[in-house]
Structure 1
Amino acid sequence: MPGGSGQLGTDLAALANGDVKVTAMGSKDLDLTRTGDVIRVVTEFADAAKDAGHRPVVINAGAYTAVDKAETEEERAFAVNADGPRVLAAACSARRVPLVHVSTDYVFPGDASRPYEVTDPIGPRSAYGRTKAAGEDAVLGSGARAWIVRTGWVYGKTGHNFVRTMVRLEGERDTVSVVDDQRGAPTSSADLAAGLLELAGRIVEGEAPAGRVLHCTGAGETTWFGFARAIFEAIGADPERVKPCTSADFPSPVARPAYSVLSNASWAEAGLTPLRHWQEALAAYFQGS
């Protein structure tokens, strides 16, 4: 599993049990830009699984996610987000190992007024989004048994994410200004990890979804401002300390999507367990459950 040291990879590894074995590999263990290493690792993984009588699935949680830096490092982002998955998918195809590839809401233009369906045309407006869209194309065109799972607004116990940032700022500032003109669906990395493992299980059991592109996010939607207020409330801080502002108040080289809510209809239609409402998942995050 590439991306094993990130917030999603950490939660995937934490869910390992007697029935599910997870081999988590961080970027120090596997550099997706090194073709030979990718092929070798997939080959060794497939052989080890066969020898142990296990049915392998590769979940690619690795990505270049520095959205702002991607604008000036698009070649590097493309190498990780598109070229890497292309090689990974080809290696999986050669060894007949199914692949689940995690993608993003940034492949859409962000100008919708209702949740994006998997059938909606993509149209990324950032370097990060373009490289992730190219990765999707590479995986789906590889010939591998592969599924794309798009998600967004992911947060977990590790790494850099909005929840951890808000908790830090609450202790450093009297007030915090947060944009109120970007909407999305906050997604717990623990919930997403459970969903990905359920999907992997369905694949090896011969009950894989017919659709090769799925959306999986927390239920409901909010703005970053609304999300921040909920975080303050969850830690016992006064939510009135969170002040709304617009994206124009925080100039950025990236055209961030104003609306990036993904419809989870494809996930439900595949018979997979829907993720909890984002507010319920956020409460559980702080309660340690």
Structure 2
Amino acid sequence: MDILITGGTGFIGRELLKLLSTHRITLVTRQPSRAKQTLAHADMGNIHYISSLDEFSDFNQFDAVINLAGEPIADKRWTAAQKSKICQSRWQLTEQLVERFHASTEAPSVFISGSAVGYYGDQQQHPFDESLQVNNSQFPHQVCARWEEIALRARSEQTRVCLLRTGIVLDPSGGALQKMLLPYKMGIGGPIGSGKQYMPWIHRQDMVKAIEFLLNTPHAQGAFNLCAPHPVTNREFSHQLAKALKRPHFLFTPKWAIRLLMGESSVLLFDSARAKPKKLTELEFTFTYSRLKPALHNLFAHTE
């Protein structure tokens, strides 16, 4: 396949490119020379680096487009300026991609575009799947809802659209897990708030395997929950993480402290999302790590 990818140098993109080494990849990146260094582990001579979508007026030459770009949502406090950056980094780029789908006489057969389980907001203890309809005013939902709405405009008789409602992607080299590790390694890790909130998680290997699966499954379309079949509470996650790291687990972080530290973005830690990947499992996608304990054991097997 000829595949265009945005966000390929990110936490998920770097791993995904390892799986796509037999395909011809065009990677959109602001810094091509730096991207070549970052992706030296994955570039089998199959990656062409471009600095701007302006090189293309249409996507006739591509079989697929994978859109993973976006300002990290949890890296900084949600000031008005940061919220705008989070939104525009997703919405504007996706609009540019969709415009080129519409300009194509032979559009790519699939558009895979990012989203997040933040779409659902706080669902407390109730399990749910992709059929859940949500409309709320919280920032994560507003970001994802519009992002998805823009991406879905690429749908046509030629093109199917898959939306990746991603949970917490687990790998110690980046993402949320990397940020969690320090207090645990210091022996002061523990649940956040009540610890009763559900955390939809997925091993990074399963995340990229699922993207490849959707790429190669012609009848897959619509929103997919990219999270393991067995979400756990924050308390259970914390307990299993401490155990995997061979560290104590007796402290907790009070809700007020997190709110003071993170401001409005603390909803990312306190909202409960007991999300189930119903559509993936119905398509018979097989998770390598469907439960948390073996997933963490794999990630920290060599931890002293």
TM (normalized to structure 1)?
0.79
Match among 257, 274, 285 for residue 261 of structure 1? 274
Contact 1:63 1:80 in 2 (8 A): yes
Q: Structure 1: which 5+ residue stretches go unaligned?
A: 30-35, 50-55
Match among 220, 241, 244 for residue 234 of structure 1? 244
Alignment correspondent of 1:60: 67
Cα separation, 1, equivalents of 2:172 and 2:99: 32
* Distance apart, 1:102 and its partner CA: 1.8
Bigger fraction of residues in strand: 2
Alignment correspondent of 2:207: 192
Moved over 6 A (4+): none
Contact 1:154 1:188 in 2 (8 A): yes
* Distance apart, 1:168 and its partner CA: 2.5
Cα separation, 2, equivalents of 1:42 and 1:263: 39
Contact 2:198 2:274 in 1 (8 A): yes
Match among 69, 87, 95 for residue 77 of structure 2? 69
Alignment correspondent of 2:188: 175
Contact 1:107 1:130 in 2 (8 A): yes
Contact 2:189 2:242 in 1 (8 A): no
Cα separation, 2, equivalents of 1:142 and 1:285: 37
1:79 pairs with 2:88 = yes
* Distance apart, 1:189 and its partner CA: 1.9
Alignment correspondent of 2:169: 154
CA RMSD, aligned part only? 2.8
Cα separation, 2, equivalents of 1:8 and 1:139: 19
What is the DSSP-based 3-state SS (H/G/I as helix, E as strand, rest coil) of the residue aligned with 1:178? Answer: coil
Contact 2:129 2:278 in 1 (8 A): yes
1:156–1:61: structure 2 CA closer, same or farther, 3 Å change rule? farther
Identity of aligned residues (%): 13
Amino acid in structure 2 at the alignment position of 1:227: F
Once the two structures are superposed, residues 229-287 of structure 1 have per-residue CA deviations (whole angstroms, 9 ceiling, x without a partner) of: 2222212223x2x5234434421323335211222111122333345223322222224
How many residues get paired? 265
Cα separation, 1, equivalents of 2:255 and 2:130: 27
Alignment correspondent of 1:163: 177
TM (normalized to structure 2)?
0.76
Task: List aligned pairs for 1:8-47, cutoff 5 A.
Answer: 8-18=12-22, 20-29=23-32, 37-40=52-55, 43=58, 47=61
Once the two structures are superposed, residues 24-72 of structure 1 have per-residue CA deviations (whole angstroms, 9 ceiling, x without a partner) of: 544535xxxxxx93353585x753x5xxxxxx32111112222453452
Cα separation, 1, equivalents of 2:190 and 2:287: 32
Cα separation, 2, equivalents of 1:42 and 1:7: 28
Q: Structure 2: which 5+ residue stretches go unaligned?
A: 33-50
Contact 2:29 2:52 in 1 (8 A): no
Alignment correspondent of 2:148: 136
Once the two structures are superposed, residues 139-177 of structure 1 have per-residue CA deviations (whole angstroms, 9 ceiling, x without a partner) of: 112345211121211133433x33222333333x34234
Amino acid in structure 2 at the alignment position of 1:58: V
Task: List aligned pairs for 1:73-112, cutoff 5 A.
Answer: 73-95=82-104, 96-97=107-108, 98-112=110-124
Match among 126, 132, 138 for residue 126 of structure 1? 138
